[in-house]
Amino acid sequence: MSRNKLAFTITEAAEATGFSADTIRRAVQAGDLPARKPKINGKQVNRLVILASDIEAWLSDK
């Protein structure tokens, strides 16, 4: 996994971990992998992002 990125989209997280995007989505929906919709200039973005530290913690539980 890239140490330069702080956060990943679901697609990026899938590519970085080798899991499918569906697996990442299921982990987010189950509450096993925290994800957020960030705000940019006070407006909420309609895209989930997952912090690199959360991905690393999730992977260590696998």
In a domain, 56, yes or no: yes
Residues 11-34 have a mean pLDDT of 97
Instruction: Indicate the residue type of 36.
Output: R
Average pLDDT in the chain: 93
In a domain, 52, yes or no: yes
In a domain, 1, yes or no: no
In a domain, 2, yes or no: no
Instruction: Indicate the residue type of 45.
Output: V
10 near 48, Cβ under 8 Å? yes
Alpha-carbon separation of residue 11 from 15, 16, 47 (angstroms): 6, 9, 11
Residues 28-53 have a mean pLDDT of 95
Predicted TM-score (pTM) of this structure: 0.86
Q: Which domain holds residue 16?
A: 7-61
Total domains in the fold of the chain: 1
In a domain, 48, yes or no: yes
Say how far apart CA 17 and CA 60 lie, in whole Å.
12
**CATH code of residue 30:** 1.10.1660
Say how far apart CA 26 and CA 58 lie, in whole Å.
13
